[in-house]
Structure 1
Amino acid sequence: MPTTSTHEQAAARETSRVALVTCDRIPDLEDDDRLALAPLSERAVTAEPVVWDDPAVDWAAYDLVVLRSTWDYASRRDEFVAWAGRVAGLANPADVVVWNTDKRYLRELAAAGVPIIPTDWVEPGAAGWSGAWVDVILKPAIGAGSVDAGRYRLDDPVERQAFDAHLARLTGAGRTALVQPYLGAVETAGETALVFLQSPDGLRFSHAATKGALLAGPDEGVDGLYREETITPRTATAAELAVAERALSAIPGGVDRLLYARVDLIPADDGTPVLIELELTEPSLFLGTAGGAKERFADAVAAAVRAG
Protein backbone atom coordinates (compact mmCIF):
# COMPACT_ATOMS: atom_id res chain seq x y z
CA MET A 1 0.00 0.00 0.00
CA PRO A 2 1.59 3.36 -0.98
CA THR A 3 2.54 5.75 1.82
CA THR A 4 2.20 9.52 1.89
CA SER A 5 5.21 11.60 2.89
CA THR A 6 5.02 14.34 5.54
CA HIS A 7 5.56 16.91 2.81
CA GLU A 8 2.72 15.51 0.72
CA GLN A 9 0.44 15.46 3.73
CA ALA A 10 1.27 19.12 4.39
CA ALA A 11 0.64 20.04 0.77
CA ALA A 12 -2.77 18.40 0.96
CA ARG A 13 -3.78 20.68 3.83
CA GLU A 14 -4.60 24.33 3.48
CA THR A 15 -1.33 26.25 3.44
CA SER A 16 -0.87 29.36 5.54
CA ARG A 17 1.23 32.30 4.43
CA VAL A 18 3.65 33.90 6.87
CA ALA A 19 6.01 36.85 6.43
CA LEU A 20 9.43 36.58 8.06
CA VAL A 21 10.34 40.24 8.29
CA THR A 22 13.87 41.39 7.55
CA CYS A 23 15.61 44.49 6.22
CA ASP A 24 16.92 45.37 2.77
CA ARG A 25 20.49 44.59 3.83
CA ILE A 26 19.49 40.94 4.43
CA PRO A 27 16.64 40.46 1.94
CA ASP A 28 16.81 36.65 1.91
CA LEU A 29 17.00 36.27 5.71
CA GLU A 30 20.07 35.52 7.73
CA ASP A 31 21.38 31.94 7.85
CA ASP A 32 19.84 31.00 11.20
CA ASP A 33 16.32 32.04 10.21
CA ARG A 34 16.52 30.07 6.97
CA LEU A 35 16.83 26.91 9.06
CA ALA A 36 13.15 27.29 9.93
CA LEU A 37 11.87 27.33 6.34
CA ALA A 38 11.74 23.55 5.83
CA PRO A 39 10.11 22.79 9.20
CA LEU A 40 7.54 25.49 8.52
CA SER A 41 6.78 24.00 5.12
CA GLU A 42 6.26 20.60 6.77
CA ARG A 43 3.63 22.27 8.94
CA ALA A 44 1.76 23.70 5.94
CA VAL A 45 3.22 27.17 6.45
CA THR A 46 4.71 29.00 3.48
CA ALA A 47 7.21 31.45 4.95
CA GLU A 48 8.50 34.32 2.83
CA PRO A 49 11.26 36.83 3.58
CA VAL A 50 9.79 40.34 3.40
CA VAL A 51 11.55 43.68 3.91
CA TRP A 52 9.78 45.76 6.54
CA ASP A 53 9.95 49.12 4.76
CA ASP A 54 9.13 47.88 1.26
CA PRO A 55 6.13 50.04 0.25
CA ALA A 56 4.91 47.44 -2.23
CA VAL A 57 4.18 44.80 0.43
CA ASP A 58 0.55 43.96 1.18
CA TRP A 59 0.84 42.98 4.83
CA ALA A 60 -2.84 42.05 5.00
CA ALA A 61 -2.12 39.18 2.61
CA TYR A 62 -0.25 37.29 5.35
CA ASP A 63 -1.78 35.17 8.08
CA LEU A 64 1.04 36.14 10.43
CA VAL A 65 3.89 38.67 10.26
CA VAL A 66 6.93 37.56 12.26
CA LEU A 67 9.67 40.05 13.09
CA ARG A 68 13.13 38.66 12.44
CA SER A 69 16.26 40.46 11.18
CA THR A 70 15.01 44.07 11.06
CA TRP A 71 18.40 45.24 12.31
CA ASP A 72 18.45 48.59 10.55
CA TYR A 73 15.67 50.03 12.71
CA ALA A 74 17.84 51.78 15.31
CA SER A 75 18.52 54.90 13.25
CA ARG A 76 14.86 55.04 12.17
CA ARG A 77 13.03 53.86 15.26
CA ASP A 78 10.12 56.30 14.96
CA GLU A 79 9.45 55.07 11.44
CA PHE A 80 9.86 51.45 12.52
CA VAL A 81 7.44 51.57 15.44
CA ALA A 82 4.92 53.50 13.34
CA TRP A 83 5.11 50.74 10.74
CA ALA A 84 4.69 48.09 13.44
CA GLY A 85 1.55 49.83 14.65
CA ARG A 86 -0.02 49.54 11.20
CA VAL A 87 0.61 45.82 10.72
CA ALA A 88 -2.09 43.41 11.84
CA GLY A 89 -1.02 40.01 13.10
CA LEU A 90 2.47 41.15 14.10
CA ALA A 91 4.60 38.90 16.28
CA ASN A 92 5.72 40.12 18.65
CA PRO A 93 2.97 42.76 18.99
CA ALA A 94 3.52 46.44 18.22
CA ASP A 95 3.22 47.66 21.82
CA VAL A 96 5.93 45.17 22.80
CA VAL A 97 8.10 46.55 19.99
CA VAL A 98 7.65 50.11 21.27
CA TRP A 99 8.57 49.10 24.82
CA ASN A 100 11.46 46.81 23.93
CA THR A 101 13.29 48.90 21.32
CA ASP A 102 14.36 51.44 23.94
CA LYS A 103 16.64 49.96 26.60
CA ARG A 104 15.16 52.27 29.18
CA TYR A 105 12.83 49.30 29.79
CA LEU A 106 15.67 48.08 32.03
CA ARG A 107 14.60 50.70 34.57
CA GLU A 108 11.16 49.11 34.79
CA LEU A 109 12.59 45.64 35.17
CA ALA A 110 14.96 46.80 37.91
CA ALA A 111 12.03 48.45 39.72
CA ALA A 112 10.21 45.11 39.50
CA GLY A 113 13.10 43.39 41.26
CA VAL A 114 14.87 41.90 38.25
CA PRO A 115 18.65 41.84 38.79
CA ILE A 116 20.08 43.91 35.95
CA ILE A 117 23.64 44.95 35.20
CA PRO A 118 24.32 48.23 37.06
CA THR A 119 23.46 51.08 34.70
CA ASP A 120 23.81 54.85 34.66
CA TRP A 121 21.68 56.77 32.18
CA VAL A 122 22.97 59.84 30.40
CA GLU A 123 20.23 61.86 28.77
CA PRO A 124 20.65 64.32 25.88
CA GLY A 125 21.86 67.67 27.16
CA ALA A 126 23.83 66.19 30.06
CA ALA A 127 27.28 67.66 30.67
CA GLY A 128 28.92 64.24 30.66
CA TRP A 129 29.45 61.32 33.02
CA SER A 130 31.65 61.26 36.09
CA GLY A 131 30.77 58.01 37.81
CA ALA A 132 33.15 55.81 39.80
CA TRP A 133 33.46 52.86 37.43
CA VAL A 134 36.84 52.66 35.74
CA ASP A 135 36.28 49.93 33.14
CA VAL A 136 32.99 50.65 31.38
CA ILE A 137 30.73 49.88 28.46
CA LEU A 138 29.05 52.79 26.66
CA LYS A 139 26.14 52.19 24.30
CA PRO A 140 22.95 53.88 23.11
CA ALA A 141 19.55 53.14 24.62
CA ILE A 142 18.21 52.61 21.11
CA GLY A 143 20.55 50.37 19.20
CA ALA A 144 21.06 46.89 17.80
CA GLY A 145 23.92 44.56 17.01
CA SER A 146 26.31 46.34 19.42
CA VAL A 147 26.60 49.16 16.87
CA ASP A 148 27.71 52.47 18.47
CA ALA A 149 28.94 50.58 21.55
CA GLY A 150 32.43 50.48 23.01
CA ARG A 151 34.53 49.56 26.04
CA TYR A 152 36.67 52.17 27.77
CA ARG A 153 39.28 52.09 30.55
CA LEU A 154 38.79 55.50 32.05
CA ASP A 155 42.07 55.52 33.96
CA ASP A 156 43.78 55.78 30.57
CA PRO A 157 43.72 59.43 29.44
CA VAL A 158 43.46 58.52 25.77
CA GLU A 159 40.51 56.20 26.35
CA ARG A 160 38.88 58.73 28.66
CA GLN A 161 39.05 61.27 25.87
CA ALA A 162 37.59 58.74 23.44
CA PHE A 163 34.81 57.91 25.92
CA ASP A 164 33.91 61.58 26.35
CA ALA A 165 33.83 62.05 22.58
CA HIS A 166 31.68 58.97 22.07
CA LEU A 167 29.24 60.05 24.78
CA ALA A 168 29.03 63.56 23.33
CA ARG A 169 28.36 62.07 19.90
CA LEU A 170 25.44 60.03 21.23
CA THR A 171 23.84 62.67 23.43
CA GLY A 172 24.53 65.41 20.90
CA ALA A 173 22.43 63.44 18.42
CA GLY A 174 19.55 63.39 20.91
CA ARG A 175 20.21 59.81 22.02
CA THR A 176 20.10 58.51 25.59
CA ALA A 177 23.26 56.61 26.51
CA LEU A 178 23.92 53.79 28.95
CA VAL A 179 27.11 53.51 30.99
CA GLN A 180 27.69 50.11 32.60
CA PRO A 181 30.63 48.49 34.37
CA TYR A 182 32.57 46.00 32.28
CA LEU A 183 32.04 42.58 33.85
CA GLY A 184 35.16 40.52 33.26
CA ALA A 185 33.32 37.20 33.44
CA VAL A 186 32.23 37.77 29.87
CA GLU A 187 35.78 36.83 28.82
CA THR A 188 35.59 33.41 30.49
CA ALA A 189 31.91 32.53 30.80
CA GLY A 190 30.55 34.65 27.95
CA GLU A 191 26.97 35.85 27.80
CA THR A 192 24.18 33.34 28.18
CA ALA A 193 21.29 33.76 25.74
CA LEU A 194 18.19 31.86 26.85
CA VAL A 195 15.57 31.40 24.14
CA PHE A 196 11.90 30.97 25.00
CA LEU A 197 9.24 29.94 22.48
CA GLN A 198 5.48 29.84 22.70
CA SER A 199 4.05 26.35 23.20
CA PRO A 200 0.71 24.74 24.13
CA ASP A 201 1.79 25.22 27.75
CA GLY A 202 2.67 28.89 27.30
CA LEU A 203 6.01 30.58 26.72
CA ARG A 204 8.58 27.93 27.61
CA PHE A 205 12.35 27.66 27.67
CA SER A 206 13.64 26.09 24.44
CA HIS A 207 17.45 26.26 24.45
CA ALA A 208 20.46 28.34 25.36
CA ALA A 209 23.61 29.55 23.67
CA THR A 210 26.82 31.26 24.69
CA LYS A 211 27.84 34.53 23.08
CA GLY A 212 31.51 35.39 23.27
CA ALA A 213 32.82 38.78 24.36
CA LEU A 214 32.26 41.46 21.70
CA LEU A 215 33.59 44.75 22.97
CA ALA A 216 37.37 44.82 23.30
CA GLY A 217 37.95 48.56 23.12
CA PRO A 218 36.65 51.98 22.07
CA ASP A 219 33.99 52.22 19.39
CA GLU A 220 35.60 52.44 15.97
CA GLY A 221 32.46 51.76 13.97
CA VAL A 222 31.00 48.56 12.58
CA ASP A 223 31.22 47.44 8.98
CA GLY A 224 27.66 46.22 8.64
CA LEU A 225 24.52 45.92 10.73
CA TYR A 226 26.09 44.14 13.69
CA ARG A 227 29.31 42.97 15.25
CA GLU A 228 30.12 39.37 14.42
CA GLU A 229 29.46 37.03 17.35
CA THR A 230 30.90 33.68 18.35
CA ILE A 231 27.95 31.44 19.23
CA THR A 232 28.16 28.01 20.87
CA PRO A 233 25.58 25.74 22.55
CA ARG A 234 25.12 26.08 26.30
CA THR A 235 23.34 24.30 29.11
CA ALA A 236 21.42 26.83 31.17
CA THR A 237 21.79 26.74 34.93
CA ALA A 238 18.92 26.82 37.41
CA ALA A 239 20.04 30.28 38.56
CA GLU A 240 20.01 31.60 34.98
CA LEU A 241 16.56 30.17 34.32
CA ALA A 242 15.25 31.70 37.54
CA VAL A 243 16.46 35.19 36.55
CA ALA A 244 15.05 34.73 33.05
CA GLU A 245 11.64 33.75 34.39
CA ARG A 246 11.70 36.73 36.73
CA ALA A 247 12.44 39.07 33.85
CA LEU A 248 9.74 37.58 31.66
CA SER A 249 7.17 37.84 34.45
CA ALA A 250 7.75 41.62 34.54
CA ILE A 251 6.94 42.26 30.86
CA PRO A 252 3.97 44.62 30.51
CA GLY A 253 0.94 42.75 29.24
CA GLY A 254 2.35 39.33 30.12
CA VAL A 255 4.06 36.65 28.05
CA ASP A 256 1.04 34.90 26.55
CA ARG A 257 1.11 37.31 23.58
CA LEU A 258 4.75 36.60 22.76
CA LEU A 259 5.87 34.24 20.02
CA TYR A 260 9.44 34.27 21.27
CA ALA A 261 11.75 35.92 23.78
CA ARG A 262 15.49 35.92 24.37
CA VAL A 263 16.98 36.72 27.76
CA ASP A 264 20.66 37.70 27.78
CA LEU A 265 22.55 37.25 31.05
CA ILE A 266 26.10 37.59 32.32
CA PRO A 267 27.69 36.65 35.66
CA ALA A 268 28.21 39.56 38.03
CA ASP A 269 31.42 39.80 40.04
CA ASP A 270 29.95 37.46 42.66
CA GLY A 271 28.96 34.92 40.02
CA THR A 272 25.22 35.52 40.14
CA PRO A 273 23.51 36.09 36.77
CA VAL A 274 22.30 39.57 35.91
CA LEU A 275 20.25 40.74 32.95
CA ILE A 276 21.97 42.57 30.13
CA GLU A 277 19.08 42.74 27.70
CA LEU A 278 15.61 41.30 27.19
CA GLU A 279 15.23 40.75 23.45
CA LEU A 280 11.61 40.70 22.26
CA THR A 281 11.77 42.43 18.88
CA GLU A 282 14.34 41.04 16.46
CA PRO A 283 16.67 38.66 18.32
CA SER A 284 18.69 35.94 16.68
CA LEU A 285 17.17 32.76 18.07
CA PHE A 286 20.22 30.56 17.45
CA LEU A 287 18.08 27.80 15.98
CA GLY A 288 21.15 25.93 14.80
CA THR A 289 22.66 25.50 18.24
CA ALA A 290 20.22 22.96 19.71
CA GLY A 291 18.49 19.88 18.42
CA GLY A 292 14.78 20.45 17.83
CA ALA A 293 15.00 24.25 18.14
CA LYS A 294 13.97 24.99 14.57
CA GLU A 295 11.08 22.55 14.88
CA ARG A 296 9.91 24.17 18.11
CA PHE A 297 10.02 27.57 16.43
CA ALA A 298 8.02 26.19 13.50
CA ASP A 299 5.49 24.70 15.93
CA ALA A 300 5.12 28.09 17.62
CA VAL A 301 4.54 29.88 14.31
CA ALA A 302 2.07 27.26 13.07
CA ALA A 303 0.13 27.44 16.34
CA ALA A 304 0.00 31.25 16.16
CA VAL A 305 -1.39 31.04 12.64
CA ARG A 306 -4.08 28.60 13.74
CA ALA A 307 -4.97 30.82 16.67
CA GLY A 308 -5.59 33.68 14.23
Structure 2
Amino acid sequence: MNTILFVTDLYYPAKGRKYYKEDLFLTSQLRESFALTICHPKDIHAFEHHADLIVIRNAGPVANFKDEYLSFRERAAANRYNIYNSLDGKGDMNGKDYLPELAKAGYPVIPTIDDVQWLEILPEAEAYISKPKDGADSIGLERISRKDLASKLSASVDRSILIQPFIDFEYEVSFYFIDHEFQYALYAPDKEKRWRLAEYVPTAEDLKFANRFIEWNNLAWGIQRVDACRTKQGELLLVELEDLNPYLSLLELRPDVRQRFVEQFRRSLQTALQA
Protein backbone atom coordinates (compact mmCIF):
# COMPACT_ATOMS: atom_id res chain seq x y z
CA MET A 1 0.00 0.00 0.00
CA ASN A 2 1.38 3.41 -0.95
CA THR A 3 2.16 5.89 1.81
CA ILE A 4 0.86 9.47 1.83
CA LEU A 5 2.07 12.34 3.99
CA PHE A 6 -1.05 14.49 4.38
CA VAL A 7 -0.03 18.05 5.27
CA THR A 8 -2.63 20.17 7.07
CA ASP A 9 -3.04 22.57 9.97
CA LEU A 10 -6.07 21.15 11.74
CA TYR A 11 -6.13 24.05 14.19
CA TYR A 12 -5.84 26.95 11.76
CA PRO A 13 -8.63 29.41 12.72
CA ALA A 14 -10.11 29.97 9.27
CA LYS A 15 -12.98 32.42 9.24
CA GLY A 16 -16.20 30.66 8.29
CA ARG A 17 -14.47 27.32 7.67
CA LYS A 18 -13.50 24.30 9.71
CA TYR A 19 -10.33 22.90 8.20
CA TYR A 20 -10.16 19.98 10.58
CA LYS A 21 -13.60 18.65 9.64
CA GLU A 22 -12.86 18.68 5.91
CA ASP A 23 -9.46 17.03 6.26
CA LEU A 24 -10.60 14.46 8.80
CA PHE A 25 -13.36 13.51 6.37
CA LEU A 26 -10.92 13.27 3.46
CA THR A 27 -8.39 11.19 5.36
CA SER A 28 -11.16 8.86 6.56
CA GLN A 29 -12.01 8.20 2.92
CA LEU A 30 -8.44 7.84 1.70
CA ARG A 31 -7.43 5.34 4.38
CA GLU A 32 -9.23 2.69 2.38
CA SER A 33 -6.58 3.00 -0.33
CA PHE A 34 -3.44 4.50 1.27
CA ALA A 35 -1.36 4.40 4.44
CA LEU A 36 -1.64 7.93 5.82
CA THR A 37 0.42 10.15 8.11
CA ILE A 38 -0.97 13.58 9.00
CA CYS A 39 1.47 16.38 9.85
CA HIS A 40 1.60 20.15 10.34
CA PRO A 41 3.30 22.14 7.52
CA LYS A 42 6.15 23.10 9.85
CA ASP A 43 6.93 19.41 10.45
CA ILE A 44 7.17 18.14 6.86
CA HIS A 45 10.95 17.68 7.12
CA ALA A 46 10.53 15.03 9.83
CA PHE A 47 8.37 12.73 7.68
CA GLU A 48 8.99 13.55 4.02
CA HIS A 49 11.60 10.84 3.39
CA HIS A 50 9.15 8.06 4.23
CA ALA A 51 6.26 9.06 1.95
CA ASP A 52 5.52 7.95 -1.59
CA LEU A 53 3.46 11.11 -2.08
CA ILE A 54 3.24 14.37 -0.11
CA VAL A 55 -0.26 15.85 -0.28
CA ILE A 56 -0.60 19.51 0.72
CA ARG A 57 -4.13 20.19 1.86
CA ASN A 58 -5.60 22.75 4.29
CA ALA A 59 -2.23 23.98 5.51
CA GLY A 60 -3.34 27.63 5.81
CA PRO A 61 -1.65 30.67 4.23
CA VAL A 62 1.98 30.07 3.22
CA ALA A 63 2.84 33.40 4.87
CA ASN A 64 2.42 31.62 8.22
CA PHE A 65 5.25 29.18 7.44
CA LYS A 66 7.09 30.89 4.57
CA ASP A 67 10.64 29.82 5.47
CA GLU A 68 9.59 26.20 5.95
CA TYR A 69 7.66 26.24 2.66
CA LEU A 70 10.54 27.65 0.62
CA SER A 71 12.95 25.20 2.21
CA PHE A 72 10.55 22.33 1.48
CA ARG A 73 10.30 23.32 -2.19
CA GLU A 74 14.08 23.35 -2.47
CA ARG A 75 14.30 19.86 -0.93
CA ALA A 76 11.44 18.62 -3.10
CA ALA A 77 13.27 19.71 -6.26
CA ALA A 78 16.64 18.36 -5.09
CA ASN A 79 15.24 14.99 -3.99
CA ARG A 80 12.53 14.71 -6.66
CA TYR A 81 9.77 14.23 -4.14
CA ASN A 82 6.35 13.45 -5.52
CA ILE A 83 4.10 16.34 -4.46
CA TYR A 84 0.34 16.86 -4.76
CA ASN A 85 -0.48 19.43 -6.06
CA SER A 86 2.42 19.24 -8.48
CA LEU A 87 4.66 22.24 -7.91
CA ASP A 88 4.60 23.38 -11.52
CA GLY A 89 1.55 25.64 -11.09
CA LYS A 90 1.64 29.33 -11.94
CA GLY A 91 -1.10 30.49 -9.55
CA ASP A 92 -1.18 31.11 -5.81
CA MET A 93 1.48 28.50 -5.02
CA ASN A 94 4.01 31.10 -6.21
CA GLY A 95 2.32 34.17 -4.74
CA LYS A 96 0.07 36.51 -6.69
CA ASP A 97 2.45 37.86 -9.34
CA TYR A 98 0.27 36.17 -11.92
CA LEU A 99 -2.61 38.62 -11.35
CA PRO A 100 -0.93 41.72 -12.84
CA GLU A 101 0.59 39.52 -15.55
CA LEU A 102 -2.82 38.16 -16.56
CA ALA A 103 -4.37 41.63 -16.36
CA LYS A 104 -1.74 43.03 -18.74
CA ALA A 105 -2.26 40.07 -21.08
CA GLY A 106 -5.96 40.88 -21.39
CA TYR A 107 -7.45 38.02 -19.36
CA PRO A 108 -10.76 38.65 -17.55
CA VAL A 109 -9.15 39.50 -14.22
CA ILE A 110 -9.87 42.24 -11.70
CA PRO A 111 -7.54 45.06 -12.89
CA THR A 112 -4.34 44.56 -10.86
CA ILE A 113 -1.00 46.37 -10.72
CA ASP A 114 2.17 46.08 -8.62
CA ASP A 115 4.15 49.01 -10.01
CA VAL A 116 3.55 52.74 -9.96
CA GLN A 117 4.23 52.98 -13.71
CA TRP A 118 1.00 51.06 -14.37
CA LEU A 119 -1.28 53.40 -12.42
CA GLU A 120 -3.00 54.63 -15.57
CA ILE A 121 -4.46 51.19 -16.33
CA LEU A 122 -6.50 51.19 -13.12
CA PRO A 123 -10.07 52.35 -13.69
CA GLU A 124 -11.61 55.11 -11.62
CA ALA A 125 -13.20 53.67 -8.48
CA GLU A 126 -14.61 54.92 -5.20
CA ALA A 127 -11.83 53.06 -3.40
CA TYR A 128 -8.95 50.64 -3.99
CA ILE A 129 -7.69 47.52 -2.30
CA SER A 130 -4.06 46.94 -1.32
CA LYS A 131 -2.93 43.42 -0.42
CA PRO A 132 0.35 41.50 -0.15
CA LYS A 133 1.27 39.03 -2.89
CA ASP A 134 1.84 36.24 -0.38
CA GLY A 135 -1.35 36.98 1.54
CA ALA A 136 -4.50 34.91 1.99
CA ASP A 137 -7.70 35.07 4.03
CA SER A 138 -7.63 38.89 3.80
CA ILE A 139 -4.33 39.03 5.72
CA GLY A 140 -2.76 42.47 5.16
CA LEU A 141 -5.71 43.75 3.13
CA GLU A 142 -6.22 47.54 3.21
CA ARG A 143 -8.74 49.88 1.64
CA ILE A 144 -7.14 53.06 0.30
CA SER A 145 -8.05 56.13 -1.75
CA ARG A 146 -6.76 56.93 -5.25
CA LYS A 147 -4.60 59.77 -3.96
CA ASP A 148 -2.69 57.25 -1.80
CA LEU A 149 -2.01 54.75 -4.58
CA ALA A 150 1.32 56.17 -5.76
CA SER A 151 2.78 56.44 -2.26
CA LYS A 152 1.60 52.93 -1.39
CA LEU A 153 3.23 51.41 -4.47
CA SER A 154 6.41 53.49 -4.11
CA ALA A 155 6.81 52.29 -0.52
CA SER A 156 6.80 48.69 -1.78
CA VAL A 157 10.29 48.72 -3.29
CA ASP A 158 10.26 44.94 -3.72
CA ARG A 159 6.88 45.08 -5.53
CA SER A 160 5.30 42.84 -2.90
CA ILE A 161 2.01 44.79 -2.88
CA LEU A 162 -0.92 44.48 -5.29
CA ILE A 163 -3.43 47.24 -5.97
CA GLN A 164 -6.93 46.61 -7.33
CA PRO A 165 -10.04 48.75 -7.67
CA PHE A 166 -12.77 48.00 -5.14
CA ILE A 167 -15.39 46.00 -7.09
CA ASP A 168 -19.04 46.27 -6.06
CA PHE A 169 -19.88 42.79 -7.31
CA GLU A 170 -23.13 40.82 -7.28
CA TYR A 171 -21.67 37.63 -5.81
CA GLU A 172 -18.55 35.47 -5.67
CA VAL A 173 -18.44 32.05 -7.30
CA SER A 174 -15.82 29.29 -7.20
CA PHE A 175 -15.18 26.53 -9.74
CA TYR A 176 -13.44 23.40 -8.46
CA PHE A 177 -11.28 21.17 -10.66
CA ILE A 178 -9.29 17.98 -10.19
CA ASP A 179 -6.44 17.97 -12.66
CA HIS A 180 -8.14 19.62 -15.67
CA GLU A 181 -11.63 18.25 -15.07
CA PHE A 182 -14.45 20.37 -13.66
CA GLN A 183 -16.06 18.89 -10.54
CA TYR A 184 -18.57 21.36 -9.08
CA ALA A 185 -19.21 25.05 -8.45
CA LEU A 186 -20.35 26.94 -5.35
CA TYR A 187 -21.31 30.55 -4.81
CA ALA A 188 -22.09 32.96 -2.00
CA PRO A 189 -25.59 34.40 -2.62
CA ASP A 190 -24.96 36.89 0.18
CA LYS A 191 -21.67 38.64 -0.60
CA GLU A 192 -21.31 39.66 3.05
CA LYS A 193 -21.11 35.98 4.00
CA ARG A 194 -18.31 34.66 1.78
CA TRP A 195 -18.32 31.14 3.20
CA ARG A 196 -22.08 30.55 3.39
CA LEU A 197 -22.19 28.70 0.11
CA ALA A 198 -24.79 27.17 -2.14
CA GLU A 199 -24.55 24.96 -5.21
CA TYR A 200 -24.06 26.89 -8.43
CA VAL A 201 -25.01 25.48 -11.81
CA PRO A 202 -22.55 27.02 -14.30
CA THR A 203 -23.49 28.00 -17.81
CA ALA A 204 -21.38 27.03 -20.82
CA GLU A 205 -19.92 30.55 -20.76
CA ASP A 206 -19.06 30.23 -17.07
CA LEU A 207 -17.16 27.00 -17.70
CA LYS A 208 -15.40 28.54 -20.69
CA PHE A 209 -14.25 31.35 -18.37
CA ALA A 210 -12.98 28.96 -15.67
CA ASN A 211 -11.34 26.57 -18.12
CA ARG A 212 -9.37 29.41 -19.64
CA PHE A 213 -7.40 29.75 -16.39
CA ILE A 214 -7.06 25.99 -15.88
CA GLU A 215 -5.57 25.70 -19.37
CA TRP A 216 -3.26 28.66 -18.74
CA ASN A 217 -2.01 27.12 -15.51
CA ASN A 218 -1.38 23.70 -17.09
CA LEU A 219 -0.88 22.01 -13.71
CA ALA A 220 0.34 18.42 -14.11
CA TRP A 221 -1.96 17.13 -11.36
CA GLY A 222 -3.86 18.48 -8.39
CA ILE A 223 -6.92 20.32 -7.15
CA GLN A 224 -7.52 23.88 -8.33
CA ARG A 225 -10.14 26.44 -7.36
CA VAL A 226 -10.96 29.31 -9.72
CA ASP A 227 -12.43 32.15 -7.64
CA ALA A 228 -14.35 34.83 -9.50
CA CYS A 229 -16.80 37.65 -8.92
CA ARG A 230 -19.85 38.55 -10.97
CA THR A 231 -19.90 42.28 -11.69
CA LYS A 232 -23.02 44.44 -11.81
CA GLN A 233 -22.67 44.27 -15.61
CA GLY A 234 -22.85 40.46 -15.55
CA GLU A 235 -19.17 39.84 -16.33
CA LEU A 236 -17.06 37.26 -14.49
CA LEU A 237 -13.64 38.45 -13.32
CA LEU A 238 -10.94 36.31 -11.76
CA VAL A 239 -10.25 36.99 -8.08
CA GLU A 240 -7.58 34.31 -7.64
CA LEU A 241 -6.42 30.93 -8.88
CA GLU A 242 -5.79 28.80 -5.82
CA ASP A 243 -3.55 25.93 -6.92
CA LEU A 244 -1.67 24.99 -3.74
CA ASN A 245 -4.12 24.09 -0.99
CA PRO A 246 -7.64 25.24 -1.90
CA TYR A 247 -10.34 24.76 0.71
CA LEU A 248 -13.02 22.62 -0.92
CA SER A 249 -16.18 23.17 1.16
CA LEU A 250 -16.72 19.42 0.77
CA LEU A 251 -19.08 19.14 3.69
CA GLU A 252 -21.38 21.71 2.08
CA LEU A 253 -21.95 19.48 -0.95
CA ARG A 254 -24.73 17.01 -1.62
CA PRO A 255 -23.55 13.49 -0.63
CA ASP A 256 -23.52 12.22 -4.22
CA VAL A 257 -21.43 15.17 -5.47
CA ARG A 258 -19.06 14.81 -2.52
CA GLN A 259 -18.59 11.09 -3.14
CA ARG A 260 -17.90 11.63 -6.85
CA PHE A 261 -15.26 14.15 -5.88
CA VAL A 262 -13.61 11.73 -3.44
CA GLU A 263 -13.46 9.00 -6.08
CA GLN A 264 -11.95 11.36 -8.63
CA PHE A 265 -9.46 12.59 -6.03
CA ARG A 266 -8.43 9.02 -5.29
CA ARG A 267 -7.86 8.34 -8.99
CA SER A 268 -5.85 11.55 -9.34
CA LEU A 269 -3.62 10.56 -6.40
CA GLN A 270 -2.95 7.19 -8.06
CA THR A 271 -1.96 9.02 -11.24
CA ALA A 272 0.44 11.22 -9.29
CA LEU A 273 1.96 8.17 -7.60
CA GLN A 274 2.71 6.62 -10.97
CA ALA A 275 4.35 9.74 -12.39
Question: Under TM normalisation by the shorter chain, which class is it?
Answer: 0.7 to 0.9
Partner of 1:138: 130
The two structures, once aligned, show a CA RMSD in angstroms of 3.6
1:208 to 185, 190, 202: 185
Pairing 1:50-129 to 2, within 5 Å after superposition: 50-54=39-43, 57-87=46-76, 88-96=81-89, 100-122=93-115
Cα distance, 1:210 vs structure 2:
1.5
1:192 aligns with 2:173: yes
Give the aligned residue type for 1:135. A
Cα distance, 1:30 vs structure 2:
2.5
- Name the SS for the 1:194 alignment partner: strand
Q: Is the 8 A contact 2:62 2:134 kept in 1?
A: no
CA distance in 1, matches of 2:90, 2:245: 9
Q: Is the 8 A contact 1:193 1:262 kept in 2?
A: yes
Give the aligned residue type for 1:207. Y
Q: CA offsets per residue over residues 89-142 of structure 1, 9 Å max, x none?
A: 11123343787332111233335542111113247xxxxxx9732232221111
Partner of 1:178: 162
1:37 aligns with 2:27: yes
CA distance in 1, matches of 2:90, 2:74: 9
Q: TM-score, normalised by structure 2?
A: 0.78
Q: Is the 8 A contact 1:122 1:176 kept in 2?
A: no
Calculate percent identity across the aligned residue pairs: 25
CA distance in 2, matches of 1:64, 1:237: 35
Q: CA offsets per residue over residues 208-231 of structure 1, 9 Å max, x none?
A: 11145369xxxxxxxxxxxx8323
Q: Is the 8 A contact 1:36 1:295 kept in 2?
A: no
Q: Is the 8 A contact 1:84 1:97 kept in 2?
A: no
Cα distance, 1:76 vs structure 2:
4.7
- Name the SS for the 2:205 alignment partner: helix
281-290 or 28-37: which moved more?
Answer: 28-37
Q: TM-score, normalised by structure 1?
A: 0.71
Look at both structures and tell me which one has the larger radius of gyration over its CA atoms. Answer: 1
Partner of 1:20: 6
CA distance in 2, matches of 1:197, 1:247: 13
Q: CA offsets per residue over residues 227-274 of structure 1, 9 Å max, x none?
A: x832332222222211111112112xx23x121111111113421111
Equivalent pairs counted in the alignment come to: 260
